[in-house]
Structure 1
Amino acid sequence: MFLSRRLLRGSLKSLCLSWGLIWSSLIQAESPRPAPPKSLPLVMETSDGGFRKTTLWKGGKQRIGNRELLGSKTLFRKQLWWFQGIAYDIPIVKHAKVDRALRKLTVNKRAQTIIGIKRSGRYMPMIRRMLEEEGLPLDLAYMVAQESNFNEMARSRMNAVGLWQFIASTGRRFGLSINRWIDERRDPLLSTQAAMRYLKHLYGIFEDWPLAMAAYNCGERRVQEAINTAREKGLKPHFWNLDLPRETEHYVPSIMAQAILYNQRERYRFAHLKTAKPMDETRVQLPVAFSLEEVSRRAKTSFQGLLKLNSALYRGFPPMNEDHYTLYLPKTSHAVLLDSLKRNPQPERTWDQNYNQLVQDSPHMMRLLEQFGAPVYFRVKRGDNLWDLAKKHRTSVARLKRWNDLKQNPVLRVNQRLKLYVPTWQVFREIAKLPEMKSSSKLMAKKIRVRRGATLSLLAKRHKTSVNKLMRWNRLKSAKSLRAGQSLIVGYRRVPADSTVQRNYRWIKVPRHATLSHLAMRYKTSVRQLMRWNGLRSAKSLKAGQNLIVGFSDKVFKPVSKIRKIRVPNNTTLSHLALRYKTSISQLMRWNGLKKATDLRAGMKLIVSKPSNLRDSDHKVIRVRSGDTLSKIAMRYRTSVKTLVALNDLKSKNLLRLNQRLLVPTLTTNES
């Protein structure tokens, strides 16, 4: 009995040894690099990408020590982890989740993995070089494979964008520009720099790369909460013990699987794939006046290829909120562009200057924007009004009203969603096809403030127009829609086409105990207008010290005409006109052939300025202080009461208001 047991044990032992030999031979046949005996010294094979291959199997962790490696020991790269004969500088462990992720990449998602490996050749050298310069583990580059599969145009369901899948808030936090014109999350170089800063920040918090990678996926706060929970349960706070979101629990093992797969492509039958060529573009900075189409023509490269290289300019147009912009060019095209700029440094068409002029409020331009422009949505915040929103978003009130189906005097709601269209390169391509405007002038609306008791018929008669035109110009449904204090267009006048209109809002700081009715009376407007301009729901919303819009003015800067003529009003004198138009009585008499001042007649045409008389302003504006009178002001500024009355069109010498603006002369004027 005892002998039979010994024989049975011997046969089982020999059977196990034979199976072990067969299994080891199978492993050696499958594995690209068999494990050498332990007596061999440690040998590292270095390459341009860093330390990647080894001929020695050494389980567990291995300190870098003083070995000569391309990736040397740094504050962020302190250890090597060995797995299946290959060294890694991020933790790679044998775990069921890692095996599951590896099986998913090589079987279920094999097609996506093939695409990612082909793309990786373009970005991996750049990413590894930047990681090495920052002293970070080189294997962090495989986070990109997991995040975006090396697709710079990738966008997740959480609106994370780019190679490193930044959401907008995190991207801005680490220095990326994200607005309606440019999205630097799609710039491979800038997004990688931002990712380096973010990873350093995370490692500084957790001092553990699996935890830092987990925080990159779900946020620092969520990982810190999981660490605190694990400590309360008496567990060690490492990644495998934490209660994290399901996506994050699979995220870190997937990065480990990506690192294993990319370093053992022969083993998983990916060795035959050809990767893309590395990035070799140069960066060029140009003024925004140069459109991408013009750059492509000057550099003799394709426009679509230029758009593909500069996916951060996702509108296909330079960022209009900047003076200069940076774009990528093929190295072969860089010298061609420089030669073209040396020959002709001026852009063919100044897009930045024509931005607001070309995209006007005409129906045709509106249709072009709606057809070829890009829609942008934004939310109304407390205190917003259409005028401020139009100025902020570089558009017009008319466009906002049209695109959002708003009424004549809309009341905006907080958190209301509004839409506008911004130009793209297609819009300006269509505009470039239009014939140039031949007219040297343009129309400007003439507006008045409707007084109490006025009607459309009276206003039409006074301003020599018709009721129908007034209704059409002001979009009035009926004559009864007219309200006191309303701004009304009563006609149009022509101004030179090269003149520019600048709208300046008039702001004040609300004094103590002021009311909207007092302010409306002082600044010649209505309470309703003040409420609409400032987004006030009720008159009680006014607060002392608040900044308040009380009006605006359209200042037209136009070329000076050769001769300026006026029609002489009633009850005026040459001295008044000389003061008002900054000239002298003798000059007026000489220009108009008057022998004496009494020859002036009401209604006659009078020349009041010529080019030779034009000079800088010799007046300044002051504010009336408490206790001021005209005589005191005249004495203070060495002038006369008569001069102040004429300069400011004062009806009475005694009617002065606190904070009233007055013109006072700074230079003496000849009245001889």
Structure 2
Amino acid sequence: MFKSKIIFFSIFSLLFSLNSIADEREKDSLKFGVEYYSNFEDNLDSLLNIWYVKNAIKVNYNPIYDNSYADIPEFSDSVYIERLKNLPSVINLPYNSIVRNYIHVYTKKRRENVQAMIGLSDYYFPIIEEIFEGYGIPTELKYMAIIESALNPNAVSRVGATGMWQFMYGTARMYNLTVNSYVDERRDPVKSAHAAAKFMQDLYSMFNDWTLVIAAYNCGPGNVNKAIRRTGGKRDFWEIYYYLPRETRGYVPAYIAAAYTMNYYQEHYISPVIPKISMATDTIMINDNLHLKQVSEVLGIPYQLLRDLNPQYKIDIIPAKGTKYPITIPMDFTGRFIFFQDSIYRYKDSLFFTADNTIKSPQKSYYIPQAPTGKEKLVYTVKSGDNLGFISEWYNVGLSDLRYWNNIRGNTIRVGQNIAIYVSKSNVSKYSSINTMSFEDKQRRVGKSVIPPDEIQPAPVVTGNYVYYKVRSGDTLWDIAKKYPGVTESDIMKLNNMSSGRSLKAGQTIKIMPKS
């Protein structure tokens, strides 16, 4: 087990080391903070689109929270320092101008968004705290979810990191999160919190420092180890600061500012907006396919609320047939769900789960192309060596037109096939004789090579004692052997590890030892 973890983190560190390395000469700390916040603010904006948040803001919104910056209290550095010092935390929470910059973003620039986030913390933080306690993770690391996603289980970053804990696909699979067409457990607040706790455990076993764990969660253990090496083995975040990727330099200060804001928001006249969501919920295991609309319409639970309580189901279907998946509902509806369970499964089941969906196969569709107006139809019969490119040049028509007129997908045509071609009426006599011309005459008409492609044979490549021959369409081992006196089919097969001549393919390069 220990050996497998070492291998895992060696690979994991290598993958993360491919990220950009921070520019040592860049010293504008506040600039880093502003740049990192582009992701954070995107998550805050998407948070406001959640159904229960939108409804809560409509009910509880108070314009007093939209005070101008001049009316919002601001405190001296000594006050911030003292407040951070008083927070119960095993993680060091230092203060500097970078942290102050992030505090101002939370408490001034995005006050309305932070109100919603604080309201949601009453629902999500107890879930996270219980899980972190079970893994021996400091519960104050729950504030990382604020930096990662603004407590939005539906958050998706510009690079595809998903969910409250922003897992990329590969990392999610490493920590046993299911990601498929129906289910994305990165969006599941419970399962993703378990995965995040396991990830943090593994990072702590590497660094033995929770601040470095926070940094490594953002940029990967490889980049943190690289910064440690470049500073001669220093293991303090602020001493390796300028050797970390730019985004990570802002990540730890943003975490400190989040911890401050979530504990001192009242001092900044920020009042939480309580979401219109049942804080008391229940989880029921489902053992058959179920659509969230079936539950919504039978029990009378708002559909969007159900979707937000179960964000892991990508198309609102719980694919539990033959297995088990959970559904989260308000606790007030638990009894009714159990009582009406059979009715819920049967409700409009033919609409949501039709038998045809499991047996339908793709069918080819054919159409009858309409003849272009003002054009005359000519017919060309395909000869050996022809291709659609040649035919389009000979008749001066578009390749896509040829395909459309003849219901052709791709470029495959066969000898003897009749190809419909439409030309202007004034050019009928010009092109009507092409079908009876030789290949050479047709090519001369358009000023191209008169050698058919099947007859163009590249010169064999000679390397050392071997000749390398490129197989042409129609070649057999016997044909190829005849070109090299004394060489037999068996010689070619043995030299190229071939069991029979049937494995010969056009375009294949084979090795031949000419007889002297």
TM norm structure 1: 0.42
Task: Describe the SS at the equivalent of 2:167.
Answer: coil
CA–CA separation in structure 2 for the residues paired with 1:30 and 1:540: 75
Q: How many residues align?
A: 315
State the 1:217 CA deviation. 0.3
CA RMSD of aligned residues (A): 4.0
Aligned to 1:249: 249
Deviations 1:249-305 (A, max 9, x none): 1110110111111111222222x3243467432222324433333333444433333
Q: 2:116·2:272 contact (CA, 8 Å) conserved in 1?
A: no
Aligned to 2:177: 176
Task: Describe the SS at the equivalent of 2:258.
Answer: helix
Task: Describe the SS at the equivalent of 1:100.
Answer: helix
Aligned to 2:13: none
Aligned to 1:134: 135
| Pairing 1:87–2:88 present | yes
State the 1:169 CA deviation. 1.2
Deviations 1:124-168 (A, max 9, x none): 111122222222111111111111111111111121111111111
Aligned to 1:357: 359
Q: 1:282·1:331 contact (CA, 8 Å) conserved in 2?
A: yes
CA–CA separation in structure 2 for the residues paired with 1:88 and 1:406: 69
Deviations 1:9-48 (A, max 9, x none): xxxxxxxxxxxxxxxxxxxx999xx99xxxxxxxxxxxxx
Pair 291,343 (structure 1): closer, same or farther in 2 beyond 3 Å: closer
Aligned to 2:310: 310
Pair 149,456 (structure 1): closer, same or farther in 2 beyond 3 Å: closer
CA–CA separation in structure 2 for the residues paired with 1:359 and 1:257: 55
1:208 aligned partner, one-letter code: D
Instruction: Point out the structure with the larger helix share.
Output: 2
Deviations 1:335-361 (A, max 9, x none): 222222357876743827542336764
1:172 aligned partner, one-letter code: R
5 Å-filtered alignment, 1:441-452, equals none
Instruction: Point out the structure with the larger strand share.
Output: 1
State the 1:106 CA deviation. 1.5
| Pairing 1:150–2:151 present | yes
CA–CA separation in structure 2 for the residues paired with 1:222 and 1:135: 25
5 Å-filtered alignment, 1:453-602, equals 513-515=498-500, 517=502, 538=507
Pair 123,540 (structure 1): closer, same or farther in 2 beyond 3 Å: same
CA–CA separation in structure 1 for the residues paired with 2:300 and 2:246: 50
Task: Describe the SS at the equivalent of 1:176.
Answer: coil
Pair 409,283 (structure 1): closer, same or farther in 2 beyond 3 Å: farther
Q: 1:120·1:275 contact (CA, 8 Å) conserved in 2?
A: no
Aligned to 2:115: 114
1:273 aligned partner, one-letter code: P
Task: Describe the SS at the equivalent of 1:87.
Answer: coil
| Pairing 1:238–2:236 present | yes
| Pairing 1:281–2:286 present | no
CA–CA separation in structure 2 for the residues paired with 1:354 and 1:167: 34
Pair 154,199 (structure 1): closer, same or farther in 2 beyond 3 Å: same
Q: 1:105·1:113 contact (CA, 8 Å) conserved in 2?
A: yes
Q: 2:223·2:244 contact (CA, 8 Å) conserved in 1?
A: yes
User: Which structure 1 residue ranges, 5 or more long, are not aligned?
Assistant: 1-28, 36-57, 60-81, 365-401, 411-449, 458-511, 520-526, 532-536, 542-672
Task: Describe the SS at the equivalent of 2:317.
Answer: coil
Q: 1:300·1:333 contact (CA, 8 Å) conserved in 2?
A: no
Task: Describe the SS at the equivalent of 1:86.
Answer: coil
Task: Describe the SS at the equivalent of 2:125.
Answer: helix
CA–CA separation in structure 2 for the residues paired with 1:516 and 1:288: 53
CA–CA separation in structure 1 for the residues paired with 2:74 and 2:247: 33
Task: Describe the SS at the equivalent of 1:93.
Answer: coil
Aligned to 2:409: 407
Pair 194,409 (structure 1): closer, same or farther in 2 beyond 3 Å: farther
1:152 aligned partner, one-letter code: P
State the 1:240 CA deviation. 0.2
Pair 106,304 (structure 1): closer, same or farther in 2 beyond 3 Å: closer
1:221 aligned partner, one-letter code: G
Pair 169,222 (structure 1): closer, same or farther in 2 beyond 3 Å: same
1:407 aligned partner, one-letter code: R
User: Which structure 2 residue ranges, 5 or more long, are not aligned?
Assistant: 1-72, 367-403, 419-496, 511-516
Q: 2:288·2:324 contact (CA, 8 Å) conserved in 1?
A: yes
Task: Describe the SS at the equivalent of 1:182.
Answer: coil
2:302 aligned partner, one-letter code: S
2:227 aligned partner, one-letter code: A
CA–CA separation in structure 2 for the residues paired with 1:516 and 1:257: 72
Q: 2:118·2:272 contact (CA, 8 Å) conserved in 1?
A: yes
Larger Rg: 1
Task: Describe the SS at the equivalent of 1:265.
Answer: helix
Pair 267,295 (structure 1): closer, same or farther in 2 beyond 3 Å: closer
Aligned to 1:648: none
Q: 2:290·2:345 contact (CA, 8 Å) conserved in 1?
A: no
CA–CA separation in structure 1 for the residues paired with 2:153 and 2:322: 23
Pair 108,182 (structure 1): closer, same or farther in 2 beyond 3 Å: same
State the 1:540 CA deviation. 6.0
Deviations 1:565-600 (A, max 9, x none): xxxxxxxxxxxxxxxxxxxxxxxxxxxxxxxxxxxx
Aligned to 2:194: 193
Q: 2:135·2:198 contact (CA, 8 Å) conserved in 1?
A: no
Aligned to 2:58: none
CA–CA separation in structure 2 for the residues paired with 1:129 and 1:185: 18
CA–CA separation in structure 2 for the residues paired with 1:318 and 1:92: 42
Pair 345,97 (structure 1): closer, same or farther in 2 beyond 3 Å: closer
CA–CA separation in structure 2 for the residues paired with 1:343 and 1:158: 42
Aligned to 2:214: 213
State the 1:195 CA deviation. 0.5
Q: 2:284·2:327 contact (CA, 8 Å) conserved in 1?
A: yes
Q: 1:288·1:352 contact (CA, 8 Å) conserved in 2?
A: no
